[in-house]
Amino acid sequence: MAWNLYQLCFLILFISLNRRSVLSWRIQNSTDDQCPPQPHPLGMCKARLAAYGYPCEEYQVTTEDGYILSLKRIPHGLSNADNSTEDRTPVLLFHGLMVDGFCWVLSTPKQSLGFILADAGFDVWIANCRGTKSSRKHTSLTPEDPAFWDFSWDELAAYDLPAVLQFVYNQTGGKKVHYVGHSLGTLIILAAFSEHKLIDIVRSAVLLCPIAYLHRTKSRLILLAARIFLAETIHMLGFHEFNPVGRVAQEVLGQVCTDPEVDCYDLFAAVAGPDCCLNTSTTCIFLQHGPQSTSVKNMIHMSQLVRKAGVRRYDYGNEKENMKHYNQPEPPLYNLSSIPTHVPLFLTHGGQDFLGDVPDTRHLLRTLVREHDSDDIEVLYMPDYAHGDFVMGYNAPQLIYKPIVEFFERH
């Protein structure tokens, strides 16, 4: 990427930012009283599942490129403990960007999808992608090595997703796996399906807030960050890990939030849209658990989706590097129209979602529905829902999760 005078001036501005950023001030003054930090020394199994009496098994899965991922299992619910796991169909839950598998059990057993599926008779598996708190191990690297963070969602689709899906498939005796993805968890399965991968081990796929096309996102914060090449600036400064509650993120938002068109007093709404249906207790648990790290390279890749129409592999910024990686000057497209038409799909999206915004999502739907078998695709539109409502909404069990269970039972 060629740097113009404006971008170089911005780079100098970024370096000189005071660490007491706008974000740190607003977080400190708006959430400490309501949601005091309570870092829990226990993992998800002991902190959430055991607390409600649910069984939990922990596994480690090593990807082809050496990342050691944490995978949790809820083999049964409270009301059906006597049934053998051999009679249960496996379901894999894959989280979105800058969160981890904890998001599926944030609330009570009656409110959280992980618990609800287990009580409905499914064998529930919960993934945690590379870089999150429980998946920061590698066969030869540590998180202090820049090479550890040399990944984007291309690698999640190519390595993390196949590794955990294949592990679940093998552990359950070769049973095809139902899949649920939220946000980035939908993008990686769509990318894999577009290359006709994993089709033989996936039984069906549920896509909550499907993310593919981001060119028309309604988030002014996301648009501004992408247009001024903010993630690229961070990378040029030598940062490789992006911790959304760390110093770098505070300085980034301290700069972006000075724009009069960006309202950072409600960061959830500024990024993902105004949620209709979150309660304070669930939001507090989410904030106390803490958003999760990803790579700066992954943030760059997401920004590329915002700046350019289409869904492409990571763009290395010049023809020489792209030729080295792809043997062509432009990064290849993921051809979503080539997704096999027989794979049962359930897609649900919200009218207030800034990330999976309506125009981009409808573009995705036109791409998929045009050729898909009508009996194998269902779409549920929630006009009042934004991005977080699908995993934390107090009315999601009735409006979203019940139809998901019924969809799985049909397939």
Q: CATH number for the domain including 330? A: 3.40.50.1820
List the single range of 79-93, 198-212, 310-324, 358-372 with lowest mean pLDDT: 79-93
Distance CA 404, CA 393 (A): 15
List the one residue out of 105, 122, 120 whose CA is nearest residue 52. Answer: 105
* CB-based burial label for 23 (10 Å; 0-12, 13-18, 19+): buried
Tens of pLDDT along 202-214? 999 999 999 999 9
Question: Would you place residue 12 in the very low, low, confident or very high pLDDT band (cuts 50, 70, 90)?
Answer: very low
List the one residue out of 163, 187, 161, 180 whose CA is nearest residue 90. Answer: 180
379, part of any domain: yes
34, part of any domain: no
8, part of any domain: no
Q: Token pair of 86, please? A: 């051999």
Total number of domains constituting the chain: 1
List the single range of 88-102, 198-212, 216-230 with lowest mean pLDDT: 216-230
Instruction: Please give the residue range of the domain that contains residue 275.
Output: 43-410
Q: What is the pTM of this model?
A: 0.91
Mean pLDDT estimate for the chain: 88
Tens of pLDDT along 288-341? 776 899 999 999 999 999 999 899 999 999 999 999 999 999 999 999 999 999
16, part of any domain: no
Does residue 8 carry a pLDDT above 60? no
Q: Where are the beta strands (DSSP E) in 75-190?
A: 90-94, 123-127, 137-138, 177-182
Distance CA 252, CA 382 (A): 32
CB atoms under 10 Å from CB of 318, counted, come to 12
Catalytic site positions: 183, 353, 387
Distance CA 126, CA 177 (A): 12
Strands 294-295 and 241-242: antiparallel
